[in-house]
Amino acid sequence: MKKLVILLVVALEAFISSVNFASQPLVDTHADSLIANHKFVFIDGKPSSFETQQYVDSVRQVISAFYYDQFRHFQDPEAPYFLFMSKDAQLAMGIGGAVRMRGYFDWGGAIPSPGFAPYLIPMTPDPTANKQFNTTPAGTCIYFRVIGRNKVLGSYQLYIEANFNGYAARDFHLKKAYAIINDFTVGYASSTFSDPAAVPPTVDAQGPNNKISPTRVLLRYMPAFGKFSFGVSAETPDTEVAVDGVNTAKVKSWIPEGAALLQYQWAKGQHVRLAGIVRNLAYRDIAAQKNYNHTGWGLQLSSVAHPISPLTTYATVSYGHGYQQLGGDLQIGSYDLVADPETPGRLYAPAGFGWCLGIQYNFRPNLFVSVSASQSRYLPAKQVDPNDYKYGFFGAANVFWNLTPRMQVAAEFDLGMRRNFSGEKKFARRIGAMCQFSF
């Protein structure tokens, strides 16, 4: 199965690279309408040559940076409607956000979470929770962004975002806070190992069950060389080790994680990326009174492309040992290091594999449908409990409609399946809807 998926991804990339990208994708046409949908407040007076092409190009370049970020996810908020702009277009500051409301209905086995995660599908269904209707304001956010150019610093960005995603989906908590100065990024940002742009759109906040989506405090260097980009970063570790407190105990992380990527971008918003990460996984053998360190690692190949104007393709495939906490279904458990049943007091880093394929078709720039399928697999080298998770499947079909540049509605059908090592499997189904207002 793994080889088949890899061959499919390689074939997809070969097809993408052979297509003529001359016509503008409809998703870019929609982005252009958003770029034009802004109000400017000049903090030191209007420019004297407001209509000059040079000034117009400067403004478009500043605003485009909001929409063509290397690590922008589909569910990230739009650029702010109101922008404070300096007279020479060297500085822009926006205060924006989104009010997002989701409602969903489960049947045939309700998942006890607003996020549709196959890992959480009850293997012993509760007859009192076979169906469920719920709503959530999770994803409602507010943010500040500054983009500027300076003779000393060069180009720079500052970004702070906070979401209502905490307790009961209503607590306010920090989501991102970082600064970009030329090719350097420092702060709390998307990991270099992730590729949010290659994740297909979903109404469900959880998204594909192989989604690699960690946010870390990091220091990243990412220069561009024509159509190629290279990135390397040191990132704050966050591991999940399955210790029992009797034979094994946790050891504090003491080495930063190292991540790197190599990307080829042939057009705006279209790329192929290969990313990798190396992690130190530590634990203590209590009986032997000795600390052990394992090396965890992961690789991900990803792409987003527009083979023809109305079509967008998404593809990701990942594999590694001890990288499960970085995203997907296995993030919910403790699978970076697990117990070795043959040697009490010892742990090992099991393998994991995931893939996702998605297609989006735009009938109009502001109206599209998409379908996606993804899978996450747990591949231990030792014997496991028959009731442990073996793999999960997630499928989604949805429609998104931007009634105005700032108002979006959507509906989605989700199908999930969890299979255990015993061979037992259970399905879950969900219909969801969303309404979002951006400002």
SS3 letters across 219-266: EEECCEECCEEEEEEEECCCCCECCCCCCEEECCCCCCEEEEEEEEEE
Tokens found for residue 434: 């969303």
pLDDT (0 to 100) of residue 22: 43
Predicted pLDDT at 102: 92
What torsion, rounded to 10 degrees, do the Cα atoms 63, 64, 67, 68 define? -150
* pLDDT score of 376: 94
Beta pairing, strands 172-181 & 141-150: unpaired
Retrieve residue 278's tokens: 């190396």
Q: By the 8 A CB rule, do 189 and 181 touch?
A: no
Counting Cβ atoms within 10 Å, is residue 235 exposed (0-12), middle (13-18) or buried (19+)? buried
Which pLDDT score is estimated for 4?
44
Own/partner contacts of 179-183, CB < 8 Å, gap of 24 or more, are 180/155, 180/156, 181/153, 181/154, 181/155, 181/156, 182/153, 182/154, 182/155, 182/156, 183/221, 183/222, 183/223, 183/224
Distance from C-alpha of 119 to C-alpha of 142, rounded to nearest angstrom: 30
pLDDT tens across the length of the chain (439 residues): 555 445 444 444 444 444 444 467 776 666 666 666 667 777 776 666 654 455 556 666 666 666 667 787 777 777 777 777 777 777 778 888 889 999 999 987 788 888 899 999 998 878 888 888 999 888 888 888 888 877 877 888 889 998 887 555 567 888 899 999 988 999 999 999 999 999 999 999 888 999 998 899 999 999 989 899 999 999 999 888 888 888 888 888 889 999 999 999 988 888 999 999 999 999 988 988 899 999 999 999 999 999 988 999 999 999 999 998 888 888 888 889 998 888 888 999 999 999 999 999 999 888 999 999 999 999 999 988 999 999 999 999 999 999 988 889 999 999 999 999 999 999 999 999 999 998 8
* pLDDT of res. 21: 41
Supply the pLDDT for residue 85. Answer: 76
CA 258 to chain centre: 19
